Structure formats: C-alpha cells, structure tokens
Amino acid sequence: GTRVRIVGKPGDAFELGVGGYVFIPTGDDLQYDGEPHVRGLPAAVLSGETKALAYAVNLGVLLRNPRKFADVTLGHQAVVGLAAAVMLANRKLQIGPEVYGSTTFDNAFQRDTLNAEAILGVKLRMGSLVAGAAVGPGLTRGLGSGLTEGTGTPVLRAVASLTYAQEPNYTPPPP
C-alpha cells in the first residue's frame, strides 16, 4: 500500500492524506486463510502529532467480490481505524491502542457483518524507517466488551510492519 500527504508536513499537528492498498491472493481459500480474488482499499487519512501524542483516523472502502461464509455474504465494506499513542524517547518510540472496525454496505451494522477489534501497538523510528508490532484480542474474545461477533473478527491478531516514512524535522519554536 501507499499513502500520499495532501495537507501538512511530517510532525505537524494536522495532516491529511489519501492512501490505498491492494491485497493479492496468497492463502488457501478452502482453509479460510485467503481469498481467491484481488481486493482494494482506498482511504482518507487524518493524522498528526504533538510533542507527547500522536493520533490517526482512517476511513476507507474495501472493494471486494462478494464472498459467502456460512450464511453470511460479505461484499464491499466501510472501514474505519482509530489510533492514539504516547510519544517517548525524543519521539522515536510510540505506544498506544488501535481500534479497527468494518461493516458491509449491504446489511450494514448487523451482528454477522460488523467487525471490531483492538490492539496495542508499538512503533520505533530509526531515521526514515519505522518498525512496528502490535498484538491484541478481538473485542468479542477476552475483553468482554461484546461489541461484535461479526464474520472475520479475529480471536487474536498479531501484526508486524516495516515502513518508510519521511523523518519529521522537529524545530523548536523561536524564543
């Protein structure tokens, strides 16, 4: 995937951008660890940071061929992501929660078509490279919040990432 900043610059309190991801089939469809078709996810991204905090809001549309699981058909979906993090070690380390959700456009917000999950993320900036890791239970398993039991909501999710992101130029304000 990729993201392009439209407003703001790295390290600003307000940045606006657009992004997109393409998912290529790699798993075994019959084992439910992949899909047989390419999927796409265009999205808008609002993010920013202060000296001590970072945040991001992603809104997108997952474009996919309709897929039937048991008695549930999943087609195109609205997708949202929210994240907040504490900035530590001179803004090189971020730690904070991330919450994701999605629902189909057909049968939106129904029990079987609404997903929500939360993870705890850690990111370490090394120049223009950002390494990240996150782990967390699906919100319906282990946290007891009972937000969703939608098809595809994981019992446990682990994520690792390595990203190129222009290093912000933090300049102190003039005295």
Q: What mean pLDDT do residues 28-54 have?
A: 88
- Asked whether the predicted pLDDT for residue 60 surpasses 80, the reply is yes
Pairing mode, strands 39-49 and 67-69: unpaired
69-110: pLDDT as tens digits: 778 888 999 999 999 999 999 889 999 998 889 999 998 888
Burial of 2 (0-12, 13-18, 19+ CB in 10 A): exposed
User: Poorest-confidence range of 27-36, 63-72, 78-87?
Assistant: 27-36
**Confidence label for 112 from pLDDT (cuts 50, 70 and 90):** confident
Round the average pLDDT of the chain to a whole number and report it.
84
Is 128 within 8 Å of 159 (Cβ atoms)?
Answer: no
Nearest CA-CA partner of 116 in 74, 69, 78, 161: 78
pTM for the full model?
0.79
Q: How confident is the model at residue 57 (pLDDT cuts 50, 70, 90)?
A: very high
Instruction: Tell me the C-alpha distance between 13 and 29, whole Å.
Output: 42
Tell me the percentage of the chain whose pLDDT exceeds 90: 41
Pairing of strands 156-164, 53-62: unpaired
Across the beta sheet with 77-88, the strand order is: 2-7, 15-23, 39-49, 53-62, 77-88, 93-104, 114-126, 129-137, 156-164
**If DSSP codes are grouped into helix, strand and coil, which group holds residue 31?**
helix
